[in-house]
Amino acid sequence: MRKRSMFVVVFMCLLLFIPLSTEASGSSWAVIDAENGRLLKGENENTPLPIASLTKMWTAYTFLELQPDNQETIISNEAAAAEGSSIYLEAGSTVKTHDLLYGLLLRSGNDAAQALAEHAGGSLEGFVYLMNEQAEHHGLDQTYFTNPSGLHHEQHLSSAYDTAKMLYYAMKNPDFRKIATTVNYPFENEQGKNSWQNKHRLLLSEPTAIAGKTGFTKAAGRTLATYFEKDGKSVIVVTLNNGDDWKTHKHLSQQAFSEYQHYTAVKKGRYQVFPHLTASIDQPIKLLVSKEEKKKLSNVLQIPQTDEQQKTGFWNIYLGKEPIKTVAVDIESDK
């Protein structure tokens, strides 16, 4: 009896160390300046976590950066049978890639993600390679993709800060911006006329929310990215594994708009750097800064060592010892 009892105790102890499910663990958030990608606030913002369908922002951006025309693609059996959320593509049907992008971002179709990946990358694996290449190029150091839809994989991770920067870079692409800011998209296919409404609830109810993406898996929990604009200011909010994300995004955006003000660090014009050197700035350099941060701003101009009469320099804005904005400027020499 004693041996049997000891076996049961040991077995029960072992059970304590066996994961029973892939429930979401850990949470984080980040708020960034949508004009330059600077982190304004965050919590665990650099911790890699599952991001679920926020992945599709980078899928769309990677696809659009390849500069494809509005082509047609034949839906494969694999795309039609893609696991998870769907826009109900039928195998063998012909669909415009333009429509697939709307189905990807507005309705979060995993089948659309697979179809776009196969079309642009030749295969799912080929396209994921391009996604990771783009991420590395843009300095998303906490990010790695294993698929274009955000289905759970232990290595498919990003941080709240990196994910916010995904939306920051993507919104600079005019085609992405047009799609991501669409609330309702009417279209016509082989089945007739139809329309898709954006799943991002804040785009329907919050005037300052103009773009974003929703996500959910059991392993990631609720994930959300939102692009907000108000009074000439713009911020991006990302939450990972937050069960009250709609309310959190409204609160964090309102807080950022209240605490941070637009400040013109450098006005447009010509500046006398040395008696024989002038620097020209075509557009004013503006930043979102708090009152305390404004006191810590400084300017550093980098001038290349060359005898050319016209050359390009770099105007750097520092917050304390951290560079937060760099702008290329024209340097002219009187010599």
Q: Which positions are catalytic?
A: 53, 56, 108
Sheet of strand 310-319, all strands in order from the earlier edge strand to the far edge: 269-274, 277-281, 322-333, 310-319, 297-302
Let me know if 177 is exposed, middle or buried by CB neighbors in 10 A (0-12, 13-18, 19+).
middle
Which is nearest to 333 in space by CA: 307, 315, 302? 307
Q: Residue type at 120?
A: A
Contact 59, 149 (CB under 8 A): yes
DSSP per-residue codes, 234-276: EEEEEEES-TTHHHHHHHHHHHHHHH-EEEEEE-SEEEEEETT
Determine the angle formed by the axes of helices 55-65 and 97-107, rounding to 10 degrees.
160
